[in-house]
């Protein structure tokens, strides 16, 4: 049996343990123990080892998402303030065909879409790769399929696949 | 509140700005949750509080405690990460439950018919 089926999970759990308790040798030992146990437990859920590639792509994705979150926060806050007077806003569903199949990539995409106000992940159909999104403000001519695929999916596929 | 006097006014203003931004966004999210017309639209409002709402308050907290030098300021980074990682779980459960109910009642919202089969 491998002791570290998920090194990334173990490292992050150990770090979290140290941050929450203290940076001493004793806590390091306990933290590593907790990290290894966490990694072993995680293997039960996800046998496949998490592989992350291309740090450059990760940095680019991070910057892009941070900017988008700020912008969409502003947009949604303004729309809520406009309230009843703003009758032209139209919410609706958008179906997006995804090419990405990596579960980890999909999980990160879910985090991105949820963290960005104005888009909500409703359901994903693994049989045909269709993602159903709910969009708060469907602006005419805005191509959501292309936005999601070119802004996020292509980078996520570089990182996880 | 003597320790507050140790913070230079410029930093104090910055902290106040970030905390005000965070709380205002969280409040707007709560107002949206009450006032928006449909369930799916109401799903969007609280994400204001979990994205920049939380980030504003956390950045304010980081600035404050790193100025006071009382502890390592990495707690907030982890708090933010944990909030970001756990929100999608609840959002998906709520969204899928609503969609499932609408489909079971025979009136799926426009745009959700077609290739997607009803959830089993």
ipTM of this predicted structure: 0.79
Among B103, B110, B87, B119, CA closest to A95: B110
A76/A151 same-domain check: yes
Does A80 contact B110 at a Cβ distance shorter than 8 Å?
Answer: no
Q: What is the pTM of this model?
A: 0.82
More confident residue, B110 or A84: B110
Lowest mean pLDDT segment, chosen from A91-95, B69-73, B77-81: B69-73
Q: Which domain holds residue B73?
A: 2-102
Residue A82 sits at the chain B interface (C-beta within 8 Å): no
Q: Does the pLDDT value for residue B20 go beyond 90?
A: yes
User: Are A31 and A81 found together in one domain?
Assistant: no
Pair A59, A40 in one domain: no
Confidence of residue A105 (pLDDT cuts 50, 70, 90): confident
Least confident of A31-40, A75-84, A126-135: A75-84
Q: Is the pLDDT of residue A45 over 70?
A: yes
B109 reaches A (C-beta below 8 A): yes
* Residue A120 predicted with pLDDT over 70: yes
Q: Of B25, B61, B77, B21, give the one whose Cα is nearest residue B46.
A: B25
Range B76-99 average pLDDT: 89
Interchain CB contact of B106 with A (< 8 Å): no
CA–CA distances in Å: residue B107 to residues A87, A92, B98, B110: 24, 15, 12, 9
Tens of pLDDT, residue by residue over B111-120, are: 776 544 544 4
Residues of chain A contacting B43 with CB distance shorter than 8 Å: 120, 134
Whether residue A62 sits in one domain with residue A36:
no
Q: Is there a single domain that holds both residue A111 and residue A155?
A: yes
Residues A113 and A88 in one domain: yes
Q: What is the pLDDT of residue B114?
A: 56
Tell me if chain A has a CB within 8 Å of the CB of B51: yes
Structure-block tokens of residue A39: 């990694």
pLDDT of residue A104: 83
CB atoms A73 and B48 under 8 Å: yes
Quote the Cα angle for A112-A46-A134, to 5°. Answer: 30
Q: Between chains, do B88 and A110 touch, taking CB under 8 Å as contact?
A: yes
Q: How confident is the model at residue B78 (pLDDT cuts 50, 70, 90)?
A: confident
Chain B contact present for A111, CB below 8 A: yes
Task: Note the pLDDT tens digit of each residue in B33-60.
Answer: 888 888 888 888 888 888 888 989 999 9
Asked if the structure places residue A50 within a domain, the reply is: no
Indicate whether A94 and A144 sit together in one domain.
yes
Say how many domains are in chain B. Answer: 1
pLDDT surpassing 90 at residue B19: yes
B62 close to A (CB below 8 A): no
Domain count, chain A: 2
Closest CA to A120 of B36, B21, B113, B87: B87
What is the reported pLDDT for B120?
Answer: 41
Range of the domain at A29: 7-45
More confident residue, B9 or B58: B58
User: Is A132 among the domain residues?
Assistant: yes
Minimum distance, in Å, between the CA of residue B54 and any CA atom of chain A? 11
For CA atoms A53, A55, A56, A58, give the dihedral sign: positive
**A44: CB partners within 8 A, 6+ apart:** none
From the list A69, A77, A123, which residue is nearest B96 (CB)? A123
Q: For chain B, give the percent of residues with pLDDT over 90.
A: 18
| DSSP annotation of B87 | H
Given this model, what pLDDT does residue A51 score? 75
Q: Which residue has the higher pLDDT, B91 or A142?
A: B91
If asked whether residues A67 and A92 sit together in one domain, one would say yes
| The pLDDT value given to residue B26 | 92
SS3 letters across chain A:
CCCCCCHHHHHHHHHHHHHHHCCCHHHHHHHHHHHHHHHHHHHHHCCCCCCCCCHHHHHHHHHHHHHHHHHHHHHHHHHHHHHHHCCCCCCEEEEEECCCCCHHHHHHHHHHHHHCCCEEEEEEECCCCEEEEEECCCCCCCCHHHHHHHHHHHHHHHHHC
The answer as to whether B30 is a domain residue is: yes
């Amino acid at each position: 049996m491998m002791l570290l089926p998920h090194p990334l999970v173990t490292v992050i759990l150990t770090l979290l343990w140290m941050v929450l308790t203290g940076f001493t040798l004793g806590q390091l030992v306990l933290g590593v123990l907790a990290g290894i146990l966490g990694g072993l437990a995680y293997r039960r859920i996800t046998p496949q080892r998490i592989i992350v590639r291309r740090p450059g792509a990760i940095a680019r994705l991070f910057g892009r998402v941070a900017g988008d979150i700020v912008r969409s926060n502003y947009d949604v806050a303004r729309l809520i303030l406009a309230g009843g007077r703003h009758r032209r806003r139209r919410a609706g569903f958008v179906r997006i065909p995804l090419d990405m199949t990596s579960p980890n990539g999909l999980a990160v995409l879910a985090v991105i879409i949820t963290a960005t106000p104005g888009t909500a992940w409703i359901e994903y159909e693994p049989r045909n790769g269709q993602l159903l999104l709910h969009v708060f403000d469907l602006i005419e001519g805005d191509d959501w399929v292309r936005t999601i695929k070119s802004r996020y999916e292509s980078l996520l596929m570089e990182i996880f696949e | 509140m003597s320790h507050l006097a140790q913070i230079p006014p410029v930093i104090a203003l910055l902290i106040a700005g970030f905390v005000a931004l965070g709380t205002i966004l969280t409040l707007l999210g709560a107002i949206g949750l009450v006032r928006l017309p449909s369930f799916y639209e109401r799903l969007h409002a609280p994400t204001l509080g979990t994205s920049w709402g939380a980030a504003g308050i956390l950045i304010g907290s980081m600035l404050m405690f790193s100025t006071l030098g009382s502890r390592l300021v990495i707690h907030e980074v982890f708090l933010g990460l944990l909030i970001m990682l756990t929100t999608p779980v609840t959002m998906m459960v709520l969204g899928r439950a609503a969609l499932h109910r609408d489909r079971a009642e025979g009136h799926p919202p426009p745009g959700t018919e077609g290739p997607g089969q009803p959830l089993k």
